[in-house]
Structure 1
């Protein structure tokens, strides 16, 4: 038997990992009003670190650009807050901006480059003090970024179930399903839990990237 075949057989013999148990539905808050946004802001900015992620309605036509994010989610150790970004999101905009630009609270998540780009483009907000764990937790010599599923398996010995059926649903829907709510909340909170565990092992996160400088407008051509 070759070494490769032996490895394949050994992998098949391994018992499946126990499931990762995420946040309870009762601990997730949907933020629609200014009062709800202010309460979320107060709770989130009282934490030293919060989980952060976004969801966008998928596109199915080649060349079509997404107009997301349609949902922005944050989590503390005990709860999560989901901010739907609809036509009437202006009521929650001040709180959302305050959270994303808070210097005293670190925001962590997995694979945030696209999320950050969409937040800048659609919401006009430049998040600060953000660390992408997919890059920060990568071990020396590792070629690929570490995803949330791999991180949960590696550090917790559990299997994080991420349903593709749920991830490709309509995140711009006026009413989210319970499965969508839990999926989004877990995305934010699992990052925080992994970060807490990583730091408890004695590791140190790299400094957050400095926010991008705003583009300078092009100078008008001088007529001669």
Structure 2
């Protein structure tokens, strides 16, 4: 019988050194057709991306989100943030998510996938739910990005609650929003990379 492993708790994670995050110099905001074309060329050269979305929060009962409002894709060196209010950015994001042969790895992607199908009219291919990988390794609950970073790197992944609940539909995103969004996808990519190395060892 397999013994289920516990995920690290908040108190244990709080004692760890911070995980190194991407700075603004390694984050590209994609908000127009020219930027979208360049991002597509750059991203399509990689075999895998970290993947996440953000949607403007809903606060009223019965209010339905029209998100996602941004899509984040990241390699182990750089992150791209697509603002989906622009029609060309939206179309390019859909093309990227439909590319076969590229792994799109992230955490808690069920809701993201439903929203993408509704908004971008495509079902993303190559999606890898990283929580599933950890469950297959014997962890008894969803790991999430914080738990995964603690287990694999012995580091504390910092997430700003203020940024998480900010308005992602804003045309002008703040530096804090850009860093938060980019690093969610970047950390997922680093986790995927580490798990790949483990499985190939």
TM-score > 0.5, shorter chain as reference: yes
Cα distance, 1:52 vs structure 2: 0.7
Shift of 1:195: 0.7
Distance 1:60 1:203, change over 3 A: farther
Q: Residues of 2 paired with 1:158 and 1:71: CA distance?
A: 27
* CA distance in 2 between partners of 1:44 and 1:13 (Å): 36
Deviating 4+ runs (over 4 angstroms)? 11-15
CA deviations 1:83-139 (Å, max 9, x no partner) are 1122xx212233212210110211101110000000001121211011010122224
Matched with 2:174 is 177
Flag structure 2 segments of 5+ consecutive residues without an equivalent. Answer: 1-9
1:201 is matched with: 198
Higher relative contact order at CA 8 Å, sep ≥6: structure 1 or structure 2?
2
Question: Could you list the per-position Cα deviations for residues 42-93 of structure 1 after superposition, in whole angstroms to 9, with x for gaps in the alignment?
Answer: 111100111110000111112222111011110112111111122xx21223
Aligned residues: 192
Contact 1:31 1:37 in 2 (8 A): yes
Question: In structure 1, how many angstroms separate the alpha carbons of the residues matched to 2:174 and 2:70?
Answer: 13
Determine whether 1:117 maps to 2:125.
Answer: no
SS of residue matched to 2:199? coil
Structure showing greater radius of gyration is 1
Structure showing the higher helix proportion among its residues? 2
Residues 15, 135 of structure 1: alpha-carbon distance in 2 compared, 3 angstrom cutoff: closer
What is the rounded CA distance, in whole Å, between the counterparts of 1:13 and 1:192 in structure 2?
23
CA distance 1:122–1:201, shift in 2 (3 Å): same
Aligned CA RMSD, in angstroms, stands at 2.0
Verify the 8 A CA contact 1:45 1:104 in the aligned structure 2.
no
Equivalent residue for 1:44?
Answer: 43
What secondary structure sits across from 1:201 in the alignment? helix
Name structure 1 gaps, 5 residues minimum. Answer: 1-10, 205-224
TM-score w.r.t. structure 1 length? 0.80
